[in-house]
Structure 1
Amino acid sequence: MSLRLPQSLFQTSQLETGASVLDGEILAEKAAALGHAGKRAEEALLHLRNYSGPKDDRAVILQAAIDAVYAYFIQRELCGFPNHDEPIAHYGIPAEVLVRLGAR
């Protein structure tokens, strides 16, 4: 019995072009930026949830959470994910943050 090498090894259509390499790099950068934005939003929301200090300081922490969630939503849209229902549920984004972002 003899074995055959996969035919895909011999096809030239599998070669990467400069454009396809660039597209892959851009996609990787978008994914990394989305991950970083998600991490920042998660940390800001956790800080907001766990805060129990003076009310004046809470306003600053709330604004930081709003800014982080807004940046995350923008990055999601840039990556082609216009629906934010899943991350709202996943991160437990409170209504006080969503209302300030214009959500109804």
Structure 2
Amino acid sequence: MSSLRMPQAYLKRLGADAGEAALRYEIVEEQAAALGRMGRKAEAALAALKAHEGAGRAEALKAAADAVWCLLVQRDVMGLRDRARIVADYDIPREVMARLGAR
């Protein structure tokens, strides 16, 4: 098991002692990893939705809406609230956003 040593510049910016800074660093690191997982999950669900026509589309729409909702919640938790950018970047269809209750 390796030990984690915070960069000194990061410690000064946080104004925290080494233990607290290490904990904050790990929290931010986990948030970033979770955001990446949610992004990949949303991309896969949106791709599956685009591939479905007819049978199975309702289930693909539900899965895509769930994945996008998880991504948006994770971003909100992190203070990233620019939904228009995410909708554009991920090319989220209106039907998915409508299912989430967005206008």
Q: TM-score, structure 2 length as denominator?
A: 0.81
Structure 1 equivalent of residue 4 of structure 2:
none
Structure 2 equivalent of residue 68 of structure 1:
67
Shift of 1:16: 5.5
Shift of 1:53: 4.4
Of all paired residues, the percent bearing the same amino acid is 43
Are 1:42 and 2:43 matched, yes or no? yes
Structure 2 equivalent of residue 83 of structure 1:
82
Aligned partners of 2:35, 2:100: CA distance in 1, in Å? Answer: 19
Q: Secondary structure at the match of 1:65?
A: helix
Superposition pairs of residues 51-66 of structure 1, within 5 angstroms: 51-54=52-55, 57-66=56-65
Equivalent AA in structure 1 for residue 58 of structure 2: A
Are 1:28 and 2:49 matched, yes or no? no
- Superposed CA RMSD: 1.9
- In structure 2, stretches of 5+ residues that fail to align are 1-7
- In structure 1, stretches of 5+ residues that fail to align are 1-8
Whichever of the two has the greater Rg, that structure is: 1
Which of the pair has the greater relative contact order for Cα pairs under 8 Å at 6+ separation? 1
**What is the count of residue pairs matched by the alignment?**
91
Shift of 1:82: 1.3
- Segments of 4+ moved more than 4 angstroms: 13-16
Shift of 1:52: 2.9
Equivalent AA in structure 1 for residue 30 of structure 2: E
Superposition pairs of residues 85-104 of structure 1, within 5 angstroms: 85-104=84-103
Q: TM-score, structure 1 length as denominator?
A: 0.81
| Deviations, residues 43-85 of structure 1 (Å, cap 9, x unaligned) | 000010011342xx21111100000000000000111101211
